Amino acid sequence: MNNVSNLTELESIAKVMVAPGKGILAADESLGTIEKRFVKISVPSTEENRRAYREMLFTSPGIGEYISGVILFDETIKQKTRDGVLFIKVLQNAGVIPGIKVDMGTKEMEGSPNEKVTKGLDGLDGRLQEYVRLGAKFAKWRAVITIGDRLPTGANIRQNARDLAIYALLCQKAGLVPMVEPEVLMDGAHTMERCEEVSRQTLSAVFEELKRAGVAIPGMILKTNMVVPGTMSGQNVRAEDVAAATVRLFKQVLPEELPGQAFLSGGQSEVEATENLNAINKEGPFQWKLSFSYGRALQDSALKTWGGKEENVAAAQQKFLHRARMNSLATLGKYSGEVEV
């Protein structure tokens, strides 16, 4: 990138996104994903219900104290509060940076149907321009890596890494901070050691491709998984084990000039995601900020409390803010079970 003033702005936004004591709310669930969550609380996934739910989250009093940014979905970035205020404006007024999910989900990889590649590069440039006009300051693209029998393949890791690099460069040219999300999935019977190995292969390939494409590393954020065992492995690990493996991996593969990494929760429970984040930050300080970008692990209790009812909004907001505050403490390594009460 030759536009130095633009790069300076991207760098400053990236730093704010991973500011100590703050993290990012992933509210970018696709229509299919949010419908599954609404089914569990017996709420129909209508546009109005989705809008009302997101309004509950975004208007939580003091959200900006713990949340630096919010990843929005295409529908959500254009929606308004019941009083007619654009969600983008609500977030800006709270001191929260608006972002946007720009990938179009995954599809089977040609020649390896048990692996996924991400859709959305076609026409991406035009969509990025529109999101910039709407007020987005960063974007997110998720690639998923599956661990299984003879998986992942080197071809799948490389294809996802290349696509992430193309996306990231397009973002920076459009004036958006790219959030680069390679997720090694928890699904499976693999050990924590296997997760660490695949995560190392994946992140090494991703940063190789980012540098090859000319992406400015100080003007981006990483969003990746912690090193954890597969959900069906039967392997019991402590938060300290997750922290040791994750920090060891990061010290091997993350470039020093990366401003920060915001962990995905990847199916961990609310408390588990907070405990692991806290244990990781207790291993610091590091040259990069290690923060959070959680969806379910910030929203689960709030969603159940809300239940689609207007009279539950205030109580649901308190649940959301509590989880945000717990994770805020975890970014500083200052969380403990006593503060949960």
Q: How confident is the model at residue 137 (pLDDT cuts 50, 70, 90)?
A: very high
Angle between helices 313-331 and 296-306 (to 10 degrees): 160
List pLDDT tens digits, range 297-332.
999 999 999 999 999 999 999 999 999 999 999 999
- pLDDT for 341: 75
Q: Are 76 and 27 in contact (CB under 8 A)?
A: yes
- Give 171-200 pLDDT, tens digit per residue: 999 999 999 999 999 999 999 999 999 999
What is the CATH class of 4-340?
alpha beta
The bridge status of strand 112-118 relative to strand 106-109 is: antiparallel
Residue range 20-58, pLDDT digits in tens = 999 999 999 999 999 999 999 999 999 999 999 999 999
Instruction: Say whether pLDDT at 1 is over 90.
Output: no
pLDDT at 101: 98
Query: Can you tell me the distance from the alpha carbon of 161 to that of 48, in angstroms, rounded to the nearest whole number?
Result: 37
Q: How far is CA 126 from CA 99, 171, 175, 244, in A?
A: 16, 11, 13, 42
Annotated active-site residue 181? The verdict is: yes
Mean pLDDT for the stretch of residues 203-230? 98
* Helix intervals (H) in 175-295: 192-213, 239-253, 270-282
Does position 160 have pLDDT exceeding 60, yes or no?
yes
* 115 included as an active-site residue: no
Least confident interval from 1-10, 157-166, 322-331: 1-10
The yes-or-no verdict on residue 225 having pLDDT over 50 is: yes
Looking at 22, 101, 116, 223, which residue is catalytic?
Answer: 223
pLDDT of residue 4: 44
Distance CA 300, CA 302 (A): 5
**Percent of the chain topping pLDDT 90:** 97
Query: Which of 11, 29, 115, 181 is labelled catalytic?
Result: 181
φ/ψ of 217, rounded to 5, equals -60, -40
Structural domain spans, the chain: 4-340
Closest alpha carbon to 275 in 231, 238, 229? 238
The pair of three-digit structure tokens given for residue 292, joined into one six-digit string: 């959070």
pLDDT in tens, 59-115: 999 999 999 999 999 999 999 999 999 999 999 999 999 999 999 999 999 999 999
pLDDT at 309: 98
Q: What's residue 2's pLDDT? A: 45
Q: Which two tokens stand for residue 304?
A: 């159940």
Whether the pLDDT of residue 5 is over 70: the answer is no
Q: Give the bridge partners for 52, in sequence order.
A: none
